[in-house]
Structure 1
Amino acid sequence: MNGALLSAQTGLEAQNLRMQFISNNLANSETTGYKSTSPEFAALMTLRVREPSASEGAASGGLQVGTGVQTIGSVTDFSQGAPVETKRSLDIMINGDGFIPVVKEDGTRIFTRGGSFNIDADGRIVTLENYALDPEISVPDNAEAVMIAKDGVVEVKTADSDEMTEIGQLEIVKFLNQNGLRILEGGYYEKVVDASGDEMIGTADEDGYGSFMQGYKEASNVNTITELVNMINAQRGYEMSAKAMTAAGDMMSTLNNAV
């Protein structure tokens, strides 16, 4: 097959994938805690038609022909989303770096940037998907109010006391390489390989860890204007690759008819 056609085909595939990322980002522009993602591209292997040489005092770079583009991975933008006040006591966001660890029903430990929490039938503070905090925090049946401090200390006011009682503390976790985490459905993250580094457990609002904000949720960090510009660029790139395929096909047809 013609090399130009193959190279143009990889361009079409790359721009199509880029559009898929852009579409997903735009679809989640209002999703709580969503972090925008983008693909990373690199040139495919270059074919060495003729090796570089130096003859008669003149240096030659030889003849090397590229074979197109490939996708090497994706990158997540973990920059802070804007705080959105809800005034709901069990809405929690992290202002700064870090994740809240929760545990699935099968015992898998995963991580979230926060969101809406509830109290289940057993009194545990859980996510909307019924994932319990890890370590678990339970609210007494007679609790009238729940207070969460910036450092993650959770206190309740009960019906039989005028003072706040501490019932636990939210754990906060950081990773050296956040992009090494696996993105799960629902805005959760999972450590599956060593690419992310070990969990670094700390105290919120100290030593570079973010602080907890009660009554707030973190908005998506998608910049819709940037995504629309990227969409136009991807569309133009796709059109140019399609034109390159058409031109290469026409050239092959002309060559075949001339033989």
Structure 2
Amino acid sequence: MIRALWTASTGMMAQQTHIDNISNNLANVNTGGFKKSRVEFQDLMYQTIKPAGASTAAGITRPVGEQLGLGVKVAGITKMHTQGSIIQTGNQLDMTIEKDGYFQIQMPDGTTGYTRNGAFTKNNNGEIVTVEGFLLEPGIQIPDDAVEIYVGRDGTVSVQIGNQNQMQELGQITTAKFINPAGLESVGGNIFKETSASGAPQVGIPGEDSFGAIAQGFLEQSNVQLVEEMVNMISAQRAYEINSKAITTGDEMLQTATQLKR
């Protein structure tokens, strides 16, 4: 009965983490380029009372053993890097990557961050930046007299200057992809960082060699599905309740045992 109390408590703690994760997913349902997370559970160690295959006093081999599990734990929280829905904005500096790839962002500490949020703008120098002011890599500067901005599907950025009919090419946006995107570290602001688990970034031209092409005037939305998260929340809540019921039942059994002498 004491074992039941501790086992059920692990279930309650695991489901609390599950609810925390669902809450974060729901909070970011309208966050552009956000990637939802999924909690992975794993059973804990087992207490072997009688091993399978052991011989009985009569010399018979036991076909099954006796093992009691000691609960559950959170093995990890996995980021799901599936593509979110795409909306058309018409903004010349809004971009989305179709399928695989991440925009490269220069962070304040000089390192490179990676994002799927293509809501870009210009700073006071005409450079393409994120809404936080982080520079897009490779850096591209838009002239003050540019009247139209064109971003090709291969990331080529061109502008029309004044009344000139000829387009002026400014540079090319390259994107990065990873062998294991789930291993990327989330640092907030829709930005990921490379880790040893994700592997080194592979940088390439959009639309070539399995790199996703760029679509101008579109934005990728969060890949959170409201109905799915609500179902997960109900399931987690019921699992939390049933584990709490197991603790209550174990307590009642202990109370009954302590009253046997009366």
Q: Tell me the equivalent position of 2:127.
A: 124
Partner of 1:167: 170
**SS of 1:249 mapped into structure 2:** helix
Residue type of the alignment partner of 2:13: E
217, 238, 252: which one aligns with 1:215: 217
Describe how 1:13-162 pairs up with structure 2 within 5 A.
13-52=13-52, 53-55=54-56, 56-159=59-162, 161-162=164-165
Which segment drifts farther, 22-31 or 85-94? 22-31
Which secondary structure state, in structure 2, belongs to the residue aligned with residue 7 of structure 1?
Answer: helix
- Identical counterparts, % of pairs: 37
Check whether the contact 2:103–2:118 (CA below 8 A) recurs between aligned residues.
Answer: no
Deviation at 1:62, TM superposition (A): 2.9
Counterpart CA distance in 2 for 1:216 and 1:68 is 46
Which structure 1 residue ranges, 5 or more long, are not aligned? none
* 4+ residue segments displaced more than 4 Å: none
The 2-side partners of 1:31 and 1:41 are apart by 26
2: CA distance, partners of 1:23 / 1:133: 31
TM-score (norm 1): 0.95
> What does residue 196 of structure 2 align with?
194
Contact 2:177 2:201 in 1 (8 A): yes
Q: Residues 200-254 of structure 1: CA distance to partner in whole angstroms, max 9, x if unpaired?
A: 1111112211111111111111111111111111111011000000001111111
Letter in 1 for 2:2: N
User: Where does structure 2 lack aligned partners over 5 or more consecutive residues?
Assistant: none
Q: What corresponds to 1:242 in structure 2?
A: 244
* Equivalent residue letter for 1:54: S
- 1:171-210 superposed Cα distances (whole Å, 9 cap, x missing partner): 110000001000121211011x310011111111122111
Distance 2:126 2:91 in 1: 17
- TM-score, scaled to structure 2: 0.94
Task: Give 1:49 shift.
Answer: 2.5
**Alpha-carbon separation, structure 2, partners of 1:73 and 1:119:** 38
The question of whether the paired residues in 1 share the 8 Å contact of 2:26 and 2:229 is answered with yes
Partner of 2:4: 4
SS at match of 2:83: coil
Q: Is the 8 A contact 1:94 1:114 kept in 2?
A: no
Whichever residue aligns with residue 231 of structure 1, its letter is M
Deviation at 1:58, TM superposition (A): 3.1
Q: SS at the partner of 2:258?
A: helix
Letter matched to residue 176 of structure 1: I
Preserved contact between residue 96 and residue 214 of structure 2 (Cα < 8 Å): yes
- In 2, the alpha carbon distance for the partners of 1:31 and 1:18 equals 20
**Distance of 2:27 and 2:108 partners within structure 1:** 29
Query: Would you say the 8 A contact 1:175–1:199 is kept in 2?
Result: yes
**1:205 maps to which residue?**
207
| Number of residues of Structure 1 aligned to a counterpart in Structure 2 | 258
1:181 equivalenced with 2:184 (yes/no):
yes
Letter of the structure 1 residue corresponding to residue 236 of structure 2? A
Q: CA deviation at 1:160?
A: 6.0
Q: Is the 8 A contact 2:117 2:190 kept in 1?
A: no
Output the CA distance in 1 between the equivalents of 2:109 and 2:23.
Answer: 32
Q: What is the alpha-carbon distance in structure 1 between the residues aligned to residue 112 and residue 82 of structure 2?
A: 23
Q: Residue by residue, what CA displacement relative to the aligned partner does 1:54-97 show, whole Å, maximum 9, x if unpaired?
A: 34233243321111000011111211111111000011111111
- C-alpha root-mean-square deviation of aligned residues, in Å? 1.4
The 10-residue stretch of structure 1 (211-220 or 136-145) with the greater mean CA deviation from structure 2: 136-145
**Residues 54 and 60, structure 1, Cα contact 8 Å, conserved in 2:** no
